[in-house]
Each structure stands twice: as C-alpha cells, then as structure tokens.
Structure 1
C-alpha cells in the first residue's frame, strides 16, 4: 500500500457530548473542523443506537482500511465501542475525566494536533480482556469485553459510589476531585469480602490465592496516575493481575500510598501475576466489580467470573 492509500478517507466521530464536565460537544466540533480541513469526510455518531448501526455497517464491508473510529468522550465510551466489535481502527480524543486510553496511546489534546496525529498514525491490533459470568446451572449468563481493566473489591466500591454521585447530579459530569469523597467513604465503611483467584501458570501448574481486592489489567494505567501493574501491555497476549490480601480501612490507605510510591510490588501481602485466563469467585459475600472505570455489577457467591485475554482482536491507531 502506498502512502496515499494509508490516509483515512472517512472518520466516524463517536462522541459523548456530556463527557468531561460537558465539554464533549465543543471538542467534537473543533476536531471535526480540523479533520475536514485535511480532506477527510466526517460522520457524527452521538448515541448508542447509531454507534451499533455503524459497527454493523463496517463489519459488512470488506475493506475498512481507510476508515477510522474516533472516540470523543471518556474511557466508558471507548469500552462501549470495543464491545461493538469494531473492524476499523479506533483512537481516543480525550474528553472525559481520566482518559486512560488516550493517555496510553499519547494522543494530543489539541484538535489540530489530533487531526495530524490521525493522518500520521499506523494501524495495529491490541488485546482485549473478556469476562463470562457463570450461572448456577453452568451456562453463561453474560459476556463482555474490557480495554483497560476489571476490578473486584475496594476499588470497584469506590467506582460504584462515585458513579452514583455522578448520575445523581443534573449535569452528570465530574472531575478528578469527585473521587476523593467516595474513596474516603469506602475506606471507612467497606467490608472487604474475600475474592478467590484461580489460574494456570506458564509451567502448567494450577494456582490459587485469595485477596480483598483483585484487579485484572490489560494496560498499565489507572485513575489518578497510579501504576498498579507496571509492565502490563495490550500487545503481549496476557493479562496482569494485582491482588491485595489484607483487609481494613487503615490497610487500604497504606496500600494506596505504597502504590503511589511504587513499592507495593515488594510487599508479601500483594501478589502480581501474568496469565492468559483466570477464574474469580466471591468466597462468602457479594463483591462489587468495575470495568474500565464504570460499575460492572457484582461477583456473587456461586457465580464465578471467567476472565481471559483475547489477543490482537481490536484494531487501533498507534502514533507515528
């Protein structure tokens, strides 16, 4: 393919107008104008139904190499798109609160620079995580995919409380500061029920452990700039897990401080592992779950979640 054939012909702008304290629509318009000035046709996609229609349309086409899907919103909008099974490459123009996906790929915040980034980027394929929820009869009741992470326990409780406060406001928007209230509340009130993790290591040996919080990472990024799983990569065919064994509000605060300083990796009560598949189950009580920074339900006793890495399944744009 020559250089002209690599340049996108169409850009589908997958936008959440309320993301990032309501700035999503303004950022959509600015980027739309910048992309059009570079000779690329644009299409606005502003609701889930339209997004699903576009995903089906592109899946039915044999050649999507000159189309791109640009998410203008937060990490939740990215998650919704990857669950549509995109066949054209995606990228993220940050317009949410944390914007972890955008940060991981280094996409610019300026619309003119972002338009140039899209023109100069190349296509690759990244891994996704996938979870299946098992019913009492052994059948699968739910299957979804995640781009960034899947968290069980304390961190998910914080996400749930933050989400409830966010949707309770008329604007539905948020900022980083809004996390501290839910964090303090859950550190004091959360019960820290146990989560059991079971997996097979590289030698073929079955392993099992328990913790009060377990997070499965596809990327090495997290809210507030925390690095729970250094070295996690969406291009290695694996998932990285971090588990915290001890319970209690004081211990939770100490764990967070140690993650912030990067020394949690040396603690005996913190486990870091890398695997392709893992089974998680609630030992006695239901455990909250978050996916890519949004609530994802509950891990119920007797209903284990099976999590696996789906290698190189999602087309993405990678910067020049």
Structure 2
C-alpha cells in the first residue's frame, strides 16, 4: 500500500535573505569545458562583458580545484561578489561541491537540463546574470548529500540512473537531448529492473521502508522533463521527499509517467512516499545498481542520502526570493529593499 509520511515540514519563521556584498568586485565563473563552445561560449563571453560594465572583475575557471582555492581566497579577502555556474545541473552541482559554505552561487543555464535554474527563474541571458549579481539577494537553501557528494535537486536509482551511466561512459563532447536516445534504447533492451530498497535512517516520524524498481529522493520539486515526481518537495524544510515505484517494466514505467502528469501517482498502491531528513538506498537482492546525482553518475549502491539545511547560498532575484517565502525586508516597504 502507499506509505505516506507522517513527518510534515516543521513550522518555522521565514528564512531571511542576505544582501550581496556590493563592495566586493570579484566574480568567479565556472565554465564547463565540454559545453564551452559555439553559442554557449558566446553567451559566456557576453555575460563576462555585461558584468564588467558594472565594474565587476570576472575570472573564468574550468578546473574545480582552482575554483575552490580562488573562492576561498576571495571570501577571506572580502572580495567575492559571487560564483557563476555556466552550464547545466551537473555544473552547478560541481560548483556546490567545490566552494566553501556561504559562497553565493548564481546560474547561467547552458546545459541540457537546467532544473535548478528553472526553479529560480534564471535565464540564459548575459543581462540576467548581471542583474542577479547587482540587484539580487542571497537565499539559504537546503542541499542534499549522497555519500560524500553534495547535490541540489535529486538522487535516483533505477532505469534513469542506468541511462545516465551508459551515456557518460560513452559520451563524446557535448550532451544534447538527442544524445540520450541511443543509451536509452540500449538500456531499455537489456535492463532487468533490479529491486531497490529505500529506508529512512533518521528518528523523525514512523519508520519507512519500501522496495521497488525505481527510487527518487528529491530536494526540490523538479525532475527531467518537468515530471512532478514530488511536487510538494520544499528546499527549505530540512527534509527530502522519497518516491519509490514498485513495478518494473517499460510499460509500467510509461503508466507511472502518465499518472505523474495527472498528479495521481501518489494515490497508487504500488507507489510509496515519505518525507524524512535521511534515507538509505541499497540493492534489495545484491545486484550492482548505479545511482545518479543531478544528472551525473553518482556511483553504485548502497548510499546514504541526507538533507543539509541551508547549505546552499543561491543568488536569486528579489521577486523569486519573495515567491519562495523568504523574508526579504521589502515586505514593509512596498517591494523595495531598505
């Protein structure tokens, strides 16, 4: 039967935003080498110029070790305005893992999937990036941690994770949506839908354990193709939303997708959901099963996945911060900050 979480988000006061340090002039831009050509490269260059027009010094970086050292140095010197992730969800995930807590992160969405950017209404526009780093605010969002890796949006194990593994093992250059077709067809042809077990390992609410052929742990209500797997996930409640689907076949997978689009999948007896701060995902029958993190390979099960409250410092527009329920200081001034 469907297992609903009894651990509702705790009532809390709205989290306050932090202002950008407008005296700081240094911007670090993480540029994905594999996506750094063609139109994407032109957008990166135009964004660099747009930021320079506001008196900001931009350093483009592709090496993650260098990004960590440069961010830490700039923060300690009080020079960091923000870190811009120029790429997709994998790039912002890499930026999160390579920067110290508190580093302001903004997204210039250039990837195949830009789930976090869509959630925060970040646009593929040089002007949008310049507006964020001159008029935006810093909002404290939860991150997730799978093993020793931080993530922004989702961890999953099942057919989708196997497709991700297959794609990245055989990738050549840039990834587009068409690049998923061949690995998807190869995976469908051979995939056996091994059993995955998801259990809660925190102390909130009732115990949760579910076994299925697909499993998802979401920090935000976003997934590829905008599938509403966990439409009520909240990135500020210190909890992750689990969704485990029992049945495994291509036909039932398509049926689950249809029910998700109808926002009815949580009512099915073969769908199990829970909201907790920490889960464990493991193979239920000993078969090796990969998992994916924000669209990139994460490793092989088992893995423990935890919510880290307030670990992400994301730059958002004032309007988006208000929409997400943050305390902006504009509530008493009719929309303008003090």
What's the TM-score, normalizing by structure 1? 0.85
Verify: 1:249 aligned to 2:250, yes or no: yes
1:150 and 2:166 aligned: no
Q: Distance in 1 between matches of 2:202 and 2:145?
A: 19
- Where does residue 139 of structure 1 map in the other structure? none
Q: More relative contact order in 1 or in 2 (CA 8 Å, sep 6+)? A: 2
Distance in 2, matches of 1:255 and 1:292, equals: 21
| 1:175-228 deviation digits (Å, cap 9, x = unpaired) | 223323333433332111111111168764322111111111111111122221
Q: Is the 8 A contact 2:24 2:78 kept in 1?
A: no
Distance 1:245 1:183, change over 3 A: same
Please, which moves more after superposition, 156-165 or 33-42? 156-165
What is the CA distance between 1:36 and its match in structure 2? 0.5
* Larger fraction in strand: 1
Shift of 1:309: 0.4
Give the C-alpha shift of residue 8 in structure 1.
5.0
**Residues 192 and 9 (structure 1 numbering): CA distance in 2 closer, same or farther, change over 3 Å?**
same
1:286 alignment counterpart: 288
**What residue in structure 2 maps to residue 174 of structure 1?**
175
After superposition, the C-alpha distances for 1:6-33 in whole angstroms (9 at most, x for unaligned) are 4652211111143277543222111000
Q: Secondary structure at the match of 1:31?
A: helix
Work out the CA distance in 1 between the residues paired with 2:95 and 2:278: 23
| Closer/same/farther in 2, CA of residues 124 and 8 from structure 1, 3 Å limit | farther
Q: Secondary structure at the match of 2:208?
A: strand
Output the CA distance in 1 between the equivalents of 2:77 and 2:310: 19
Q: How far 1:58 moved relative to its partner?
A: 4.1
Kept in 2: contact 1:17–1:24 (CA 8 A): no
Residues 1:79 and 2:93 are matched in the alignment: yes
1:88-99 equivalences under 5 Å are 88-99=103-114
- The counterpart of 1:120, out of the listed 135, 148, 158, is 135
Give the aligned partner of residue 82 of structure 2: 68
Task: Using structure 2 for the length normalisation, give the TM-score.
Answer: 0.81
Counterpart check, 1:43 vs 2:59:
yes
Instruction: Give matches, 1:263-274, under 5 Å.
Output: 263-274=264-275
Match of 1:307 among 305, 308, 326: 305
Per-residue deviation, 1:117: 2.8
Provide Cα deviations, 1:145-171, integer angstroms capped at 9, x if missing partner: 111111111110121222234x2x2xx
Instruction: Call closer, same or farther: CA 1:204–1:266 in 2, change over 3 Å.
Output: closer
Whole-angstrom CA distance in 1 between matches of 2:36 and 2:263: 28
Q: Is contact 2:51-2:58 (8 Å) kept?
A: yes
Which stretches in structure 2 are left out of the alignment for 5+ residues?
Answer: 1-17, 319-338
Aligned residue for 1:130?
145
- What is the number of equivalent residue pairs in this alignment? 299
Instruction: Note the residue ranges of structure 1 that are not aligned, 5 or more in a row.
Output: 133-142
Q: Note if contact 2:155-2:291 (Cα within 8 Å) is conserved in structure 1.
A: yes
Residues 153, 40 of structure 1: alpha-carbon distance in 2 compared, 3 angstrom cutoff: same
Relative to structure 1, is the Cα distance of residues 255 and 183 closer, same or farther in structure 2, using a 3 angstrom cutoff?
farther
| Aligned equivalents of 1:306, 1:318: Cα separation in 2 | 30
Specify the alignment match of 1:136 in structure 2: none
